Chain A
Amino acid sequence: MNPDSQQPPVNRRSFLGAAARVAAMTGVGALLGKLAGATAAKGTVWQIDPSKCTRCGNCATACVLEQSAVKCVHAYAICGYCELCTGYFGPEPNELTTAAENQHCPTAAIQRTFVEDPYYQYRIDEKLCIGCAKCVDGCNRYGNGSLFLQVRHDRCVNCNECAIARVCPGHAFVRVPVDQPYLLKTTPTTS
């Protein structure tokens, strides 16, 4: 330090500040080095493993969204196209018609259309589906299990900690790679 000058070029405060900054940047660098291997350009998203799903109904209520991001999906290739669909009709239907009192679905989100005798097609209207799993339960108990729940990625906000996963009794929520975001059913299950 030059003894003649009034203002020293470096005072204690600025030196400490610079030292702290260098230390902090070193820390950030060390963090980056540690995380370099753990970083992925492609993330993961939540999905339901249909083989673990217990159809408990939590998906309809536990999601942070007002209307759950979980919806019912239909694997048409497995479907038996039954006239008496136990996913579509409630336990004791008065008639096999589309009247509301006969239906399992509380929001009438399953559309039943005649294909050819004696087969009927069942299609999920996603706008109406609330992910309550009532039809999934009916289909898996008595049918082929072609109805199952999936996280719909046009709705899911991909929370760090999925609120449904936290209460899922079957631990069916898993993180899957973003380029394979669905776990679709391809084989029938009987349970």
Chain B
Amino acid sequence: MLFLSHAKTQRREGVFPFFASLRLCVSILLASLLLSATALAESRFPPPDFESGYQLPSAATPPPRAALLQYLDVAVLIAALGVALWLVYRSRSRRGIAALSLFSLAYFGFYRKGCVCAIGSVQNVALALFDPHYALPLTVLVFFLAPLIVALFAGRAFCAAVCPQGAIQDLVLIRPVKVPSWLEAALGLIPYLFLGAGVIFAATGSGFMICRFDPLVPFFRFSGSAFMLTLGAAFLLVGLFVGRPYCRFMCPYGALLRLATAAAKWRVRVTPDTCTQCALCQHSCPFGAMREPTGGAQKQEPLRIARRRLAGLLLLLPVLVGLGAWGGSKLAIAGGYAELGGWLFGGWTGLVIGGKWIALSVRRNRTDFEPDSGACFACARCFEYCPSERMRRGLIPLEPANKE
């Protein structure tokens, strides 16, 4: 290319400096090409010795985010979890939860740009368990463990008001519609499958699927691929009518928290007083998390049948796992990790379907309306609708007012 321009510029007038410097450069270039075999690290054009006292500038190297600020993230996380627990269990204030949501959205969402987040931390932990060369940052470990331990004792306080993804969806929810229970149960399998896929991809070092397909993070960053921005917009549009679609039907960390809440010591209660069974709380819940009373032993099927079905399903579970593993290994592209991954993911799918089946058919005994700890995001909306709770707070008088 340079030789072409050389020939061309010879015909022109008034470009003498260019021509001269070009000839110089080309000759040095040719010389350096001849020399390059012997001296690889030599400069083609030796750095000049300046006579005018010119000082070499140095390249700026802006440092990464300071470690101190990362510990600030951890402190904010733990403080926000504490405040969320206090708001749900002591103050029982929906307004407080909404305010904390706004704060979390501003801090973890728009200021921290959705990174570091508990949802993605699952993959870092999985990678650290299987790859001895990977060093897990301490902050990521805390982001993974703190919400999980809280969920083991007191439910999904993290989802209520600390997670920015949950907060942005909670704030756009304007006209909730009820998702049919069959659809809710079917779509509710996706988070577990996504969790399994994310862990397998991370553990085998193949990638970070959960981060890559997080549809709300592009909003926090105000940038992203067209596909992810469209997906995020779709989630927010659906979220106007279906409460928290990502949390309920996609979030893998939510699936983990849901499992943890099965062992929760304290559960969110609509009212600490007596339930009048008015079903207002059930209607007020945008996430379909309220479970109605089972209505005594006479209304339910005989215990004998329920026991027999449970035994059958428990026996079916290993069969489903085996079938899934076999199918997964057949579907996976043969060889290496893909085969192992397909085998594992298939087995996990079988386990998830079997587990859901068992959970759906176990006989429950509920005398009152109560939230399902696994599905409840502790958003505190139902508290304001419960007449017993309003009476307890003195918002409506204990005795009917006598005007005469």
Q: A21-B265, A159-B211 are in contact. Are A65 and B47 (CB under 8 A)?
A: no
Other-chain residue from A31, A119, A152, A161 in contact with B125 (beta carbon distance below 8 A): A31
Q: Would you give the 0/1 interface string for B138-159, flagging 1 where the beta carbon is closer than 8 Å to chain A? A: 1101000100110011000000
Of B1-9, B176-184, B276-284, B306-314, the segment with at least 4 beta carbons within 8 Å of chain A is B1-9
Contacts of A152 in B (CB 8 A): 62
Neighbouring B residues of A91 by C-beta, 8 Å: 1-2, 5
Please state if A28 and B145 are interface contacts (CB–CB under 8 Å). Answer: yes
Minimum distance in angstroms from B99 CB to a CB of chain A: 27
Question: Are A92's CB and B67's CB within 8 A?
Answer: no
Selected from A35, A76, A126, A157, the residue in CB contact (under 8 A) with B136 is: A35
Q: Which residue of B lies closest to A23 (CB)?
A: B263
With A91-B1, A160-B211 as known contacts, state yes or no: A184 contacts B136, CB within 8 Å. Answer: no
**How many A-B contacts are there with CB distance less than 8 Å?**
188
The answer to whether the Cβ of B22 comes within 8 Å of any Cβ in the partner chain is yes
The yes or no answer to A116 lying at the interface (CB within 8 A) is yes
Is B398 on the interface with A (CB-CB < 8 A)? no
Look across to chain B and name the residue whose beta carbon is closest to the beta carbon of A43.
B137
Cβ 8 A contact of B29, one of A28, A32, A45, A142:
A142
Chain B: minimal CB distance from A71 (Å):
10
A84 touches B21 (CB 8 A): yes
Q: In the complex, what's the smallest C-beta–C-beta distance from B72 to chain A, in angstroms?
A: 15
A42-B67 contact in complex given A80-B45, A157-B113, C-beta closer than 8 Å: yes
| CB-defined A-B contacts under 8 Å, sample of 5 | A66-B222, A76-B59, A80-B48, A119-B50, A153-B63
Select A116's contact among B32, B50, B57, B63, beta carbons within 8 Å. B50
Q: Please indicate the chain B residues that have their CB under 8 angstroms from the CB of A43 in the complex.
A: 70, 135, 137, 139
The interface residues of chain B lying within 8 Å CB-to-CB of A80 are 43-48
Residues of B near A81 (CB, < 8 A) are 45, 47-48
When the two chains form their complex, are residues B128 and A143 in contact, meaning their CB atoms are under 8 A apart? no
Q: Which residues of B contact A (CB under 8 A)?
A: 1-2, 4-5, 8, 15, 17-18, 21-22, 24-25, 29, 32, 36, 40-48, 50-52, 54, 56-65, 67, 70, 113, 115, 120, 123-125, 128-129, 132, 134-139, 141, 145, 148-149, 152-153, 207-208, 211-212, 218, 221-225, 260, 262-265
Task: Classify the secondary structure of A's interface with B.
Answer: loop
Q: Which of A119-149 contact B (CB under 8 A)?
A: 119, 121, 123, 126, 142-144
- Please, which residues of chain A bring their CB within 8 A of the CB of B149? 25, 28
Q: What separation, in Å, do the CA atoms of A58 and B65 have in the docked complex?
A: 25
Check A21–B153 contact: CB distance below 8 A.
yes
Inter-chain contacts of A75 with B (CB < 8 A)? 59
Contact A153–B62 (Cβ < 8 Å) = yes
- Contacting pair A96 B17 (CB below 8 A): yes
- Please tell me if A156 contacts chain B, counting CB pairs below 8 Å: yes
Contact call B134/A178, Cβ cutoff below 8 A: no
Q: Does A77 touch B at the CB level, under 8 Å?
A: yes
Q: Let me know if A157 and B1 touch, CB within 8 A.
A: no
Do the beta carbons of B134 and A38 come within 8 Å of each other?
A: yes
Given A92-B4, A144-B43, are A115 and B54 also a contact pair (CB < 8 Å)?
Answer: yes
Interface string of A64-89 (1 = CB under 8 A from B): 11100000011111111111101000
Please, how many angstroms separate the alpha-carbon atoms of A32 and B18 in the complex?
67
Is B123 within 8 A of A160, CB to CB? yes
5 closest pairs, A vs B, by CB?
A: A80-B45, A66-B223, A20-B263, A40-B135, A154-B62
In angstroms, Cα B263 to Cα A26, docked, is: 13
Q: Which residues of B contact A123 (CB under 8 A)?
A: 57
Residues of B within 8 A of A79 (CB): 47
Q: Does A181 count as interface, using CB distance less than 8 angstroms?
A: yes
Q: Which residue of B lies closest to A80 (CB)?
A: B45
User: Quick one: given A17-B265, A143-B44, A161-B207, are A39 and B221 in contact (CB under 8 Å)?
Assistant: no
- Cα of A115 to Cα of B212 in the assembled complex, Å: 47
Task: Give Cα A144 to B137, complex, Å.
Answer: 38
